[in-house]
């Protein structure tokens, strides 16, 4: 089979219009294609590029590091490169205002969060374009993330006033029991590049609602969105020091003094399992409270009795949301043998017709570039490995080449069990398909992974749906749905996907400690 597919044919390389859409100084070009009311230059100029510690401040020593546009490889701008001393300055600022922030009436805290929600929503196009520029995703994906990310401020503005305790008489008759919830204290959040806004707001919203202060260390690939958010929070009335953003190219060195400082009370991390394990180890010394949102390897299980067209639609979402660079992305498709070929051929057709690879700022683009060259190499290697051990390439499978880090929508069928792609998180637009015979075999195959973030199941049989959902070893299950993320629901994993929950009524608990007051 030819490696040249429709996904490649529809690839629009960066500069397809004879210009680089991401280049600075080209007012309204690129973004104008997408009908935006804001230009790339305006957006980039509105972002503070210094650290945010009670306002914009340069890094000690004045160091900076570059932020690249994944669609072109070009440098978008330089941001301050925090030192360990800067991190301690941010903690000093957080500690200085912690008591005052915790003492603010929860209604007032909630109202500031609500204002931030409104401000992000009002400036949605700016945030969307900024994320597309620094992360690469197609603009519609960025717009969806703005809505999703902003919602954590609205949801937790409402939750702020619903932190309840308990009061009861001791059954023994010896006294009264009062249970009281208090903010944990200063927190450190470390976030990944794949959702530059939402992975921050999912932590900032509940922390601030609970009365905690927070320092955010965003991914070095995508620091701009968090810096813009910090500025906007300040404009919305958030007191100085409550939220700091320290951007750095040396994440380990910069966060170490914070993990060693007894004034820090909580670490919340979203990122790879490998880094999460290191951070748990490092935080053991201070017995820091931790939440870990780690990697995934989501199975997408389709039974013979499923609505196959709906399953294909769900598969498109579960695979291609965020260009496949999502911890919730379906990583393996387990399809019952009776519908294996029907599902595979319809999925190939839907991907071939429905995906246009190109720069995220182009209005025709539905699939943007990968984040960087390393990620492009990883995705390419996983596909090559699968083909080498016998998988059949049904679509895509070959990077079109630069500029930018593009990889086409790709489908592999008959993937043998030894293929690395079935065990490792691919983090790209690649769908490996495997058949199974019985329900037990399907569940066992889905659970055959160290990870346990999310699973997807397609079946028309309600009994089976519940039975399978209960049997799947993951923190979340989507039944006949390809997207499950919802700020009102508890998001999180089991096994090597981590612990802790974000969103829902559970999300704020991560930032609260329980105090028992004994009364006579």
**Are 23 and 41 in contact, with CB atoms under 8 Å apart?**
no
**Dist. CA 437–CA 434, nearest whole Å:** 11
Query: Among residues 125, 134, 293, 325, which one is catalytic?
Result: 293
Quick one: 256 or 447, whose CB is closer to ligand NAP? Answer: 256
Smallest distance from the beta carbon of 255 to ligand NAP, in angstroms?
4
Q: Is 191 in the site for ligand NAP (CB under 6 A)?
A: yes
Quick one: 6 or 270, whose CB is closer to ligand NAP? Answer: 270
**Residue number, nearest CB to ligand NAP:** 271
Quick one: 118 or 424, whose CB is closer to ligand NAP? Answer: 424
Quick one: 60 or 220, whose CB is closer to ligand NAP? Answer: 220
DSSP 367: B
The piece of 161-169, 219-227, 456-464, 507-515 that touches ligand NAP (CB under 6 A) is 219-227
Residue 514 CB neighbour total at 10 angstroms = 11
> The tokens 């009365």 sit on which residue?
211
| Region 450-469 residues binding ligand NAP, contact defined as CB under 6 A | 453
Quick one: 64 or 220, whose CB is closer to ligand NAP? Answer: 220
Active site residue 293: yes
Smallest distance from the beta carbon of 346 to ligand NAP, in angstroms?
27
**Dist. CA 298–CA 70, nearest whole Å:** 25
The piece of 9-17, 274-282, 283-291, 337-345 that touches ligand NAP (CB under 6 A) is 274-282
Pick from 50, 251, 290, 459: which binds ligand NAP (CB under 6 A)? 251
Selection from 164, 170, 202 nearest residue 182 by Cα: 164
How far from the centroid of its chain's Cα atoms is residue 40's Cα? 23
Q: What is the DSSP string of 441-466?
A: HHHHHHH-SS--SEEEEE-S-HHHHH
How far from the centroid of its chain's Cα atoms is residue 423's Cα? 20
Pick from 148, 193, 347, 511: which binds ligand NAP (CB under 6 A)? 193
Burial class (CB in 10 A: 0-12, 13-18, 19+), 159: buried
Quick one: 26 or 373, whose CB is closer to ligand NAP? Answer: 373
**Dist. CA 335–CA 16, nearest whole Å:** 38
Q: Is 295 in the site for ligand NAP (CB under 6 A)?
A: yes
Pick from 84, 271, 299, 429: which binds ligand NAP (CB under 6 A)? 271
Selection from 433, 419, 428 nearest residue 375 by Cα: 428
Pick from 190, 242, 330, 355: which binds ligand NAP (CB under 6 A)? 190
Selection from 376, 55, 373 nearest residue 232 by Cα: 55
Length of the chain: 520
- Angle at which helices 139-159 and 124-135 cross, to 10°: 120
The piece of 25-33, 122-130, 264-272, 405-413 that touches ligand NAP (CB under 6 A) is 264-272
* Residue ranges that bind ligand NAP, judged by CB under 6 A: 190-194, 199, 217, 219-221, 251-252, 255, 270-272, 275, 278-279, 293-296, 327, 425, 453, 493, 497
Provide the annotated active-site residues: 293
């Amino acid at each position: 089979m030819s490696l040249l597919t429709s996904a490649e044919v529809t690839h629009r390389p960066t500069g397809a219009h004879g210009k680089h859409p991401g280049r600075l100084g080209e007012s309204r070009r690129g973004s104008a294609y997408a009908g935006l009311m804001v230009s790339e230059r305006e957006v980039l100029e509105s972002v503070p590029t210094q650290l945010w510690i009670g306002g914009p401040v340069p890094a000690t020593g004045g160091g900076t590091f570059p932020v690249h546009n994944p669609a072109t490889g070009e440098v978008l701008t330089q941001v301050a490169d925090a030192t360990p001393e800067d991190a301690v300055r941010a903690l000093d600022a957080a500690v200085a205002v912690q008591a005052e922030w915790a003492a603010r009436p929860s209604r007032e805290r909630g109202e500031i969060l609500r204002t931030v929600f409104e401000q992000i929503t009002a400036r949605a196009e700016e945030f969307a374009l900024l994320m597309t520029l620094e992360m690469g995703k197609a603009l519609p994906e960025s717009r969806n993330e703005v809505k999703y990310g902003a919602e954590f401020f609205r949801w937790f503005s409402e939750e702020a006033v619903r932190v309840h305790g308990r009061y009861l008489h001791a059954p023994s008759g010896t006294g009264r029991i009062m249970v009281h919830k208090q903010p944990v204290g200063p927190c450190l959040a470390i976030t990944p590049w794949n959702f530059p806004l939402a992975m921050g707001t999912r932590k900032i919203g509940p922390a601030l609602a609970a009365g905690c202060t927070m320092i955010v260390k965003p991914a070095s690939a995508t620091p701009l969105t968090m810096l813009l958010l910090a500025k906007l929070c300040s404009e919305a009335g958030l007191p100085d020091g409550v939220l700091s953003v320290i951007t750095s190219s040396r994440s380990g060195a910069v966060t170490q003094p914070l993990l060693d400082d007894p004034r820090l009370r909580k670490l919340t991390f979203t990122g790879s399992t490998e880094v999460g394990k290191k951070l748990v180890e490092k935080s053991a010394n201070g017995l820091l409270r931790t939440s870990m949102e780690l990697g995934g390897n989501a199975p997408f299980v389709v039974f013979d009795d499923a609505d196959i067209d709906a399953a294909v639609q769900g598969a498109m979402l579960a695979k291609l949301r965020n260009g496949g660079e999502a911890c919730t992305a379906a990583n393996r498709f387990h399809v019952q043998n009776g519908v294996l070929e029907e599902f595979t051929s319809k999925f190939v057709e839907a991907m071939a017709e429905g995906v246009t690879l190109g720069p995220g700022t182009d209005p025709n683009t539905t699939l943007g570039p990968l984040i960087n060259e390393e990620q492009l190499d990883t995705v390419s290697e996983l596909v090559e490995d699968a083909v080498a051990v016998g998988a059949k390439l049904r679509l895509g499978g070959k990077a079109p080449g630069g500029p930018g880090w593009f990889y086409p929508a790709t489908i592999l069928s008959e993937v043998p069990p030894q293929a690395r792609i079935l065990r490792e998180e691919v983090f790209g637009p690649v769908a490996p398909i495997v058949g199974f015979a019985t329900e037990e075999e399907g569940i066992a195959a889905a659970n055959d992974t160290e990870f346990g973030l999310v699973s997807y199941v397609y079946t028309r049989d309600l009994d089976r749906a519940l039975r399978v959902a209960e049997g799947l070893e993951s923190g979340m299950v989507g039944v006949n749905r390809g997207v499950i993320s919802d700020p009102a629901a508890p998001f999180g994993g089991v096994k090597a996907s981590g612990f802790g929950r974000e969103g829902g009524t559970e999300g704020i608990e991560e930032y609260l400690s329980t105090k028992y007051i004994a009364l006579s």
